């Protein structure tokens, strides 16, 4: 099962570009076939962002749950995604 990562961004958001690069690097490392990435413009999808509890950009949700608010460092993001991938694997084996 592919893990779903959503990066919440906004026009003129100072740190969103950097967040996109961090996400791209980490996903490349962990496997683009295992993680799907979608960039969500909160201006266009504000209801969805609010539903997930996004109060600032950048923010990252994994499988529909808010995981990071602010710019995560690559290591923290990688560890969080790896842990979830492991859980995914366990679920699919069960």
Partner 1 sequence: MAHGQTSYRIGEVTGLTNLSADTLRYYEKIGLLPPVQRTASGLRVYDERDLSRLRFIQRSQKMNFSLHEIGTLLDMREDPQHARDEVRQLTLHKLSDVEQRLQELTTLRTELQLLVNLCQGSEQGCPIIESIDESGNSKSD
Shortest distance, CB of residue 8 to partner 1, whole angstroms? 9
Of 1, 2, 24, 43, which one interacts with partner 1 (CB under 8 A)? 43
Whole-Å CA distances, 72 to 4, 38, 47, 92, 94: 17, 17, 23, 28, 31
**86 contributes a contact to partner 1 by CB under 8 A:** no
Residues 6+ apart with CB under 8 A from 72: 19, 22, 60, 80
**14 contributes a contact to partner 1 by CB under 8 A:** yes
Residues that bind partner 1 (CB under 8 A): 10-15, 42-44, 46, 49-51, 53-57
């Amino acid at each position: 099962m592919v893990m779903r990562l959503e990066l919440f961004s906004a026009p003129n958001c100072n740190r969103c570009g950097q967040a996109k690069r961090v996400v791209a690097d980490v996903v490349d490392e962990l496997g683009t076939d295992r993680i799907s990435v979608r960039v969500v413009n909160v201006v266009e999808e504000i209801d969805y962002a609010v539903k997930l509890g996004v109060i600032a950009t950048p923010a990252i949700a994994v499988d529909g749950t808010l995981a990071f608010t602010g710019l995560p460092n690559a290591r923290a993001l990688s560890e969080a995604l790896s842990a979830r991938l492991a859980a995914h694997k366990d679920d699919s084996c069960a």
